[in-house]
Every structure is written in structure tokens, then in C-alpha cells.
Structure 1
Amino acid sequence: MRELILLRHAHAEPPAPGTEDFDRPLSREGQAEAEAAGVWLKKNGYLPDRVVFSPARRTRETVEQVLSVIGVVEQRAEARVYEATPGTLMQIVDDHRELGRILLVGHNPGLEQMAALLNSGQSGDFRGMPAGGIAVLRLPADALLEPGIAELAAFWWP
């Protein structure tokens, strides 16, 4: 078995005039959420082999806060994660299937739709993934991702 940890970026500042969505920073609340996510991951032993994340500022800052708690982990910014569909996210995760545990940090609706698709086989069968929320999915060791292949092992939100 291997594990896929999905982490939605924590709360970001609202869009400011002249600021691109991509460049929105975490709010103070978001910084605390991201730190709490790191505490939960560490406390529950979900330390990843690699972190793959969207290069958007709020996602990078979420990763920084999490790593400040769990310690240094190999990191890869992946442009395809920003505004990705569940299918694109599954391809990204498949690119790292040699790992026992990967942490994917990104955005909704793609993350929550992928979690639902992998677990239940239905991308519309989701209940929402709040900012800073974590879903841990257990997957067969060498299999490519497909609908219904995963078991939801844990779900947490700040």
C-alpha cells in the first residue's frame, strides 16, 4: 500500500485590486491553519516522502508552514496543479507512484473532486474540502490511479 495525502491550501487573503489570484498570500488565519495541518500530520505519523504543490503563493506558503512543523522533505513545485482537473491531478500523482507517501498541496475544486473520484468512483460525490483540510487516501502499491481505487483513511480540517 501507499498513501496519498491531499492538502488544500489554507485561507488566503481576498483578492486585492491589481493582484492576480496566483499571487494571493495566506491570511493570518491561513498561517495558523497551515501550521495546525503540519501538527496534525506529524502527530498522526503522516510524514511524506515528497511534497508536490501548486506554485501559487498561498500554496507555497501553506507548504512552508507545514514543513516548519514536520521538518525538511523533498519538495517539487508543479505548475499543472494550479487550476487542475481531477484527471490532471491523478496524472501528477501517477508520476510519483514510486513513493510510499506523497503530499499533494493544491486547490479546489480539483482536490475534493479527485478525493471523491478515487474513493467512491464519482467526482460529484464530494462533501467539500475546507481550506487547510486534509484527506489521506490509501492506494494499491503499484497501480495507476483510477476511479474507486482508494480507501479514505483519514480526513481532518482546522
Structure 2
Amino acid sequence: MRELILLRHAHAEPPAPGQDDFDRPLSLQGQAEAEAAGRWLRDHHYLPDRIVASPARRTRETCEQALAALGYIEIRQEKRIYDATPGMLMQVVDEHRDIARLLLVGHNPGFEQLAALLSSGQSGDFRGMPAGGIAVLTVADDAVLEPGVATLSAFWWP
């Protein structure tokens, strides 16, 4: 079995006048949430073999805070995660299918839709992944990613 861990970035500051959404930093609350997410992953033995993350500032900062609890883990930035559809996210995950435990760090609505699509077979109006939330999905090693192929084995939020 392999595991896909989805970590939605923690709470970010609202955009300053003229600031691009991509450049929004984590708020103080978000920094604490991201650190708590890292501790939860560590304490529940969900240490990823690789992290693939959106290059947006709030996502990079979420990774930094989480890694304070997790220790060093290889991080690859992937611009396709920013504003991605579930289909695009599945493509990114498929490119790392050789990794037993992959952590994706990114954004909604794509992450909550992906979690719903992989675990229930439909994404519809699912709204349930808060900022800093984690979904752990288990997939058979030889499974092709498609709707309903995964089991939601853990869910946590700060």
C-alpha cells in the first residue's frame, strides 16, 4: 500500500493592497497550525518520503513550520499544484507513484475535491478541508488513480 497525504496550507494573511495572492504569508495563527500539523504527522507516524508543494508563499511557509517537527524531508516545488483541479493533482501524484508515502501541500478547492473524489468517487459539493487540515489516503501499490480507488484512513485539522 502507498499513502497520499494532503496538507492544505495553514491560515494566511489577507492580501495587502496590490499584493498578489501568490505572495500572501502565513498569519500567526497559520504558523501555529502548520507547526501543529507537523507534530500530528510525526506523532501518528506519517513521516513522508517526499514532499511536493505549491510554490506559493503560504504553502512554502506551511512546509517550513511543519518540518520543524518532522525533520529534513526532500521537498519539490510544483507550480501545477497552485489553483489545480483534482485531475491535475492526480497527474502530479502519478508522477511520484514510486514514493511509498507522498505529502502534497497545496490549496483548496482542489485538495478537498481530490480527497472526496479518490475516497468516495465524487467531488461534487464536498467542503470539508479547513486551513491546515490533513487527509491521509491509502491506495494499493498497483492501483491507477481514479475516482473511488482510495481509502480515507485519517483526517485531522488544527
**d(CA) in 1 for partners of 2:125, 2:80:** 23
**Structure 2 counterpart of 1:87:** 87
**d(CA) in 2 for partners of 1:4, 1:126:** 19
Tell me by how many angstroms 1:125 deviates: 5.4
**d(CA) in 2 for partners of 1:125, 1:93:** 23
Greater mean alpha carbon deviation, residues 116-125 or residues 33-42: 116-125
Tell me if the contact between 1:5 and 1:136 (Cα under 8 Å) persists in the aligned partners: yes
Give CA-to-partner distance per residue, 1:66-121, whole Å, 9 cap, x none.
Answer: 11110000110000000000000000000000011000000000000000000000
**d(CA) in 1 for partners of 2:35, 2:15:** 22
Percent same amino acid among aligned pairs?
A: 74
**d(CA) in 2 for partners of 1:30, 1:41:** 16
**Structure 2 counterpart of 1:58:** 58
**How many residues end up aligned between the 2 structures?**
158
**d(CA) in 1 for partners of 2:144, 2:98:** 11
**Structure 2 counterpart of 1:155:** 155
**d(CA) in 1 for partners of 2:145, 2:125:** 17
Tell me if the contact between 1:35 and 1:65 (Cα under 8 Å) persists in the aligned partners: yes
SS of corresponding position for 1:67: helix
Which structure 2 residue ranges, 5 or more long, are not aligned?
Answer: none
**Structure 1 counterpart of 2:28:** 28
**d(CA) in 1 for partners of 2:71, 2:117:** 31
**d(CA) in 2 for partners of 1:114, 1:41:** 20
Superposed structure 1 runs of 4+ greater than 6 Å apart: none
Tell me by how many angstroms 1:127 deviates: 3.5
Which structure 1 residue ranges, 5 or more long, are not aligned?
Answer: none
Q: TM-score, normalised by structure 2?
A: 0.98
Letter in 1 for 2:7: L
**d(CA) in 1 for partners of 2:144, 2:52:** 17
Q: TM-score, normalised by structure 1?
A: 0.98
Matches within 5 A, 1:97-108: 97-108=97-108
Q: Does 1:48 align with 2:22?
A: no
**d(CA) in 1 for partners of 2:108, 2:71:** 26
**d(CA) in 2 for partners of 1:142, 1:54:** 26
